[in-house]
Amino acid sequence: MKISTNKFVSLSYDLNVGEGEERELMERATDETPLEFIFGTNSMLEAFEKNLDGMAEGDAFDFVLTPDEAYGEYDDDAIVDLPRNIFEQDGVLNEEVIFEGNTVPMMDTNGNRLNGSVVEVKEDVIKMDFNHPLAGETLNFSGKVLVVRESTPEEIAALFAPQGCGCGCGDGEEDSCGCGSEKEMAGGCGSGCGCGGH
């Protein structure tokens, strides 16, 4: 069976970021903890799927995605100062959530979910970076197709079930999507929560 629309796919891979000697291992999906998804359901980056289309169980892959094919170029305009009070409850900042380096699920004025990384906590503003963590990066995927099979009706239904930010890559907390998991890096959270591919 070959990878095509609505097939259940399981992969092991290494994701290296950068070019040439500067490449750095960003994440690894192993045989024990593979990346699993349903092909052609907008849960992965389009260019990621295009490189896997038509492959079968046991096939090896090795391909590169440019920033344009992955998460875009780094955008300085995506770093913004937001009023501190929008992060406060009863006048108190939740320092367990709002601290430098943490990723916070948020919503824009149109109701779109997105993730922001806390860059700096100031007295009156919180500086947030809404770039994807891999914006501007060249992504090098190398790995193997472990499983290709028909997806079940339950697996397809689960794609459309409301579950936090709709990607299922959180750490158990509602709306937690900035988890750095294989799903996120490969685009698996979908565009609805800011860590997907669109």
pLDDT in tens, 153-193: 898 888 877 644 333 333 333 333 333 333 334 443 333 33
Answer CATH for 76-129 from 2.40.10.330, 3.40.920.10, 3.40.630.30, 3.90.1560.10: 2.40.10.330
Q: Do domains 7-72+135-193 and 76-129 have the same CATH topology?
A: no
pLDDT value for 162: 62
Across 125-147, average pLDDT: 95
pLDDT value for 188: 38
C-alpha distances in Å from residue 99, one per residue of 116, 117, 141 = 12, 9, 32
Q: What is the pLDDT of residues 140-155, one digit of tens each?
A: 999 999 999 999 989 8
According to the 3-state scheme, what is the secondary structure of 145-169? EEEEEECCHHHHHHHHCCCCCCCCC
Q: What is the pLDDT of residues 185-196, one digit of tens each?
A: 444 333 333 333
Q: Which two tokens stand for residue 85?
A: 């009070």
| pTM to 2 decimal places | 0.70
pLDDT value for 48: 97
Give dist(CA 55, CA 166) in Å, integer: 27
Q: What is the pLDDT of residues 29-85, one digit of tens each?
A: 999 999 999 999 988 999 999 999 999 999 999 999 999 999 999 999 999 999 999
Q: According to CATH, what is the number of the domain 7-72+135-193?
A: 3.10.50.40
- Ranges 43-47, 89-93, 108-112, most confident: 43-47
Check residues 23 and 29 and name the one with the higher pLDDT: 29
Task: Specify whether the CB–CB gap between 46 and 27 falls below 8 A.
Answer: no
Give dist(CA 12, CA 30) in Å, integer: 5
Report domain extents, the chain.
Answer: 7-72+135-193, 76-129
Give dist(CA 146, CA 88) in Å, integer: 46
